[in-house]
Each structure stands twice: as C-alpha cells, then as structure tokens.
Amino acid sequence: MESYKGLSPSQFFYRNREIAGFSNPVRSLYQAVRELLENSLDATETHGILPEIKLEIKPSNNQNDKITIRIEDNGIGIPITEVPNVFARVFYGSKYVLRQARGVFGLGVKMAVLYAQITTATPIYVKSSIESSETEYEYRLFIDIEKNLPIVLELNVRKKRKKWHGTIVELTIQGNWPLARRRIEEYVRRTALIAPYATIRLITPESSIEYKRVSRKLPEPPQVGKYHPKGVDIELLKILIRSADRKMRLLDFLTKYFDGVGKKTALNFCQWAGFNPDHKIGRLTLTDLEKLSNKMHVYNKWRRPKPLTLSPLGDTLLKEGVKRILEPEFVTAISRPPSSYGGNPFIIETALAWGGKVPVSDTPMLLRFANRIPLLYDESVDVSRKIIDAIDWNVYKVKFPAPIAIVTHICSTKIPFKGVGKEAIAEVPEVEKELNIAIRETARRLRRHLSRIEKMYEIKRKEVTISKYMDEVTRALAYILNNDGGETIIKQKLMELLKKEIKRKAIVRGGIKSAAKAPCSR
Ligand code: ADP
Ligand code: MG
C-alpha cells in the first residue's frame, strides 16, 4: 500500500535547491550574496532612500569552506512581527504587487537561510528597525522545513539609542570563496554601474573596495500598478472578482481593475466581445470567464500599458554609472520610450562606452542588466548578444580589436527571461526591436565621435607638416620683402593665417571644436 502526503514549499526547495541557484558551494555563495544585496537595494532605492550598503564576506573556519556573509543597509527596515516570516517562510514577502523590483517571488533570502541551515547548521541573524519604531530588534531564526514556518531561537528587543532604520543580516554557509570571488566582485562592480546613486562597500579577506556614489539623484521610484487586459488569464480574473463586490457590473469591473481602461473603451470591448456591460461579475460562469479572458487577449484597441510601474535609470544616470566603472574616453546612453509585449510594459536602455580604460577585445564587451540586476551567466544565448553579433561594426568605423563596451538594461514588471535560470533575455520581437534601435543609435553616435577625432588628427598632421617648412618660408619672404630682421613678425603673421585657415576648415567639416572640448559624452 502506498502512503500519501503533501510537500511543503520549504521541502520542495530543500529538495530542488539548484532551481534557485543553490547548486554547489561556488554558485551558492554567489547566489546568497546576490539575494542579500538585491534585498538591500530594493529596501532603499525603491523607497526613495540613497543606498548605503556594507557587505562583508569572511571565512569562518580554518579550512576556508564555511563563509560568513554580513550585510548592512539603511533601508526601510522590517516591522518586528514580519521578520520571522520574511526570512524563514518560503513564499512570503512584500513584493507581490505590480511594480518593478529586483525580487519578485518572496523566495530568495529563504534559500540562503535554508542553505545555511543544512550546510553549517547555523541560524540566520537579523537586526532591524523601521523609522517609526522606538526599538530595534535582533532575531536568530531557523526554518521548520516540514511546516514551512519560522523557528525563533532568540529575540532581543532594545530601545534605540540613535535614530536609525535599516537591516543587518548575517549568515554562514558552506561556500568556496576563492572560486566564487571573481564573480562576486564583478557582480558588485556591475551593481555599482547600474546604481550610481549607491555607496557600496565590499569587504573581503583580500581587500576593501568602496564604490562611492557619484550622483545623489535617484530614479523616480516605481508605482504599484494595475494589470493590463492583454495580460490576464482565468485565474487572475477569479482572484480579482473575489476581491471585488460580486454585484459590481462588468463595465465597472473592467474600468476599476485594469490599466488604461476607461468607460468608453470598456463599452466598446463589451459590445465587440458580446458581453452585456451590466452583467454582474458574481454571476459570470467559468465558461464566461474563459471567453472573457480570451477576448481580452485578442482585442486590439486597448491602450498601451502605462509605464508608471517601471523605474528606468534614464540616460544621464546610466552615463554616470558607466563613467564610474568603465572610465571610457567616450560614452553615450539612450533611454527608449516605453513599449510593451503581451500586456507587460517595458523600457529598454542602452549605453556605449569607447576608449579610455575599456578593455580591448575582438568583439564588443557586453554588460547586461534586467531590473537593475546584473546578468553574468548565459550571455551567448541572450538577445542582446545576438543583436550585437549581427551588426557590421565596420559601418560604424569600429575595427577589431577595439576598446568598446555595450550596456543593455531592460525594465519590466515581467522580464522575458529565457528558461528558469533567469540569466538571459529571450527573443521577444518587441524587445528585440527596441534593443536594435537603441544599440544602433548609440553606434551611430560613436561613428560621429570617431569621424570628428579622425578629422582632428588629419588637421593636426597638416599643421605639423606645414610648420616644418615655416622657417624656410619665413626667410624667403623676408628676403623677397627686403626685410632683414623682420622674420619674427612674418612668422607670427604666417602662423596666425595658418591657424585661421585650420579653424575655418574645422567649422566647415563640422564641429571639431565640440569633439575636442567634450570628448567624453553626448
Ligand atoms: P523577494 O525579495 O523576492 O520579495 P525575499 O525572500 O528575498 O523575497 O525577501 C522577502 C521579503 O523580505 C521582501 O519582500 C522584503 O519585504 C523583506 N526583506 C528582505 N530583506 C530586506 C531588507 N534588507 N530590508 C527590508 N526588507 C527586506
Ligand atoms: Mg529578494
């Protein structure tokens, strides 16, 4: 006789931890650092706070295989009653709303806690306080894997001595620091690129690296939004109907719960789809819901999804970030207008960096980001790589090997990831089109920059060649003019004429002055 029982979410992830990136000591260390850093950034920048983050990684035994990670942020903090659940209950969090964030599933940090618990038998330590609280509190927690509930081992509550808000988290996991080091350092470096308004300190056994903020401007925080009618399914309709008044008319339901649906649009839709706008939503049968969902998908007169739920960086901040990390000679950036796919709004941003300290390589170096998260794995299957590889760079005056780097950033409430690894963006036509436009525009700007530089060099070369003959010409002129001793004045006059001519040509050929003056941006 078989015996039957259920599996709790914690048990599921305990058995399948590689799904969430916790597959081996190298990847797990990297993943744990990511989860903590991303939570700290969400707790600051999304709430209008300039992030101040300290991340420490240190071995906690002599064999170097147990690693302690400690992170401290100045974020909004976590209410005392929520701490156990958010850290020790799988699928619990504050980000289950339609708004751009780094975290979405309410899973990440619990995976790190779970991994700590099963590899080193140590609990997670959390200290936190919220702005309005008079107290600060410390917890030590385990997860009850079978029940998917927190086990509180220790709780200390104290009166706050100084006014602060934020969170400190510490956990010890089995990890391989020497092998994970390069990835983690690169991850933090790229995070500093995409968050130029953040100060991030990374302290490791080898070094202490500080990325000081280069801007005090935060991007507009995202707002919580409504679903777009094109993105619904039967389950979502059921959930929304459950949360609404059952006597509500279909017409009011559509206008109240969906993005960009006014009364007129709702009426037109009902007429087109064969629904009575006065139908009470509590009376819709499952068959009605199926029809409604299908019709909502195919109706093509909805307004585009509003991008208020998104928080793009903007071209100025993106440029600041690129300058901070790549230190190029030239940088240009674009933040495209909002677009959408399948009812999900998205915004593409790209930057191109050239020269300076950008490494020389045989193909453009690519730095990818999704909702401000650096993507370090699976570059070869990412849509950005495909676009860059398809470009004939000769057209843009780039001859390889060359010092060129391209940054791509996609913001969306639903990033079109390829596969569960969440490390590569899929080839969604709408996204591909936007990326193509943005990357090619930055490439055109690079070509203009390179043309200017070329012309400038050409003119300089001419100037040098001409000045070689200057003394001889001066002497000859002095002789012809019978003006012995007037060489100095003649030479001066000739030089003035030459400079004037060069300047005239420069203006005719287009803006050398601007290229010479501001080689570092556009
Ligand atoms: P997610 O980030 O996907 O929501 P996590 O398991 O990583 O899932 O985190 C769960 C919740 O814990 C978050 O939604 C957030 O509310 C809270 N949280 C985690 N870390 C912090 C932090 N440093 N500051 C404030 N809140 C945090
Ligand atoms: Mg998270």
The ligand that comes nearest to the alpha carbon of residue 94 is: 1
Give pLDDT tens digits for 222-248.
899 899 998 889 999 999 999 999 899
Instruction: Give the pLDDT score at 219.
Output: 93
Q: Which residue has the higher pLDDT, 45 or 488?
A: 45
Instruction: Give the pLDDT score at 488.
Output: 83
> Cβ contacts of residue 123 below 8 Å, gap of 6+?
116, 117, 140, 141, 142, 153
171 lines ligand 1 (CB under 6 A): no
Residues with CB under 5 A from ligand 2 (ion): 39, 103, 108
Q: Which residue has the higher pLDDT, 95 or 127?
A: 127
Q: Which residue has the higher pLDDT, 17 or 325?
A: 325
Q: Which ligand 1 atom is nearest residue 107's CA?
A: 6
The percent of residues in the chain predicted with pLDDT above 70, rounded, is 96
Find the farthest-apart pair of alpha carbons in the chain and give their distance in angstroms, rounded: 123
Ligand 2 centroid to Cα of residue 107, in Å, is 7
103 lines ligand 1 (CB under 6 A): yes
Burial string for 292-311 (b: 16+ CB within 10 Å, else e) reads bbebbbeeeebeebbbbbbb
- Is residue 297 pLDDT above 80, yes or no? yes
107 lines ligand 1 (CB under 6 A): yes
Instruction: Give the pLDDT score at 454.
Output: 87
Instruction: Give the pLDDT score at 511.
Output: 45
- Is residue 510 pLDDT above 60, yes or no? no
H/E run at residue 455 = helix 429-480
334 lines ligand 1 (CB under 6 A): no
Give pLDDT tens digits for 357-415.
999 999 999 999 999 999 999 999 999 999 999 999 999 999 999 999 999 999 999 99
Walk me through the domains of the chain, giving residue ranges and CATH numbers. Answer: 9-211 (3.30.565.10), 229-298 (1.10.8.50), 307-445 (3.30.230.10), 448-517 (no CATH)
In whole numbers, what is the pLDDT of the chain averaged over residues?
A: 91
Instruction: Give the pLDDT score at 330.
Output: 97
Q: Using CA atoms, how far apart are residues 158 and 134, in angstroms rounded to an integer?
A: 9
Instruction: Give the pLDDT score at 304.
Output: 84
- Taking the model in full, what pTM does it have? 0.87
Phi, psi (rounded to 5 degrees) for 481: -80, 0
Q: Using CA atoms, how far apart are residues 265 and 515, in angstroms rounded to an integer?
A: 51
Ligand 1 centroid to Cα of residue 46, in Å, is 12
Question: Ligand 1, atom 4: nearest CA belongs to which residue?
Answer: 106
110 lines ligand 1 (CB under 6 A): yes
Ligand 2 centroid to Cα of residue 337, in Å, is 28
Ligand 1 centroid to Cα of residue 219, in Å, is 20
Instruction: Give the pLDDT score at 478.
Output: 84
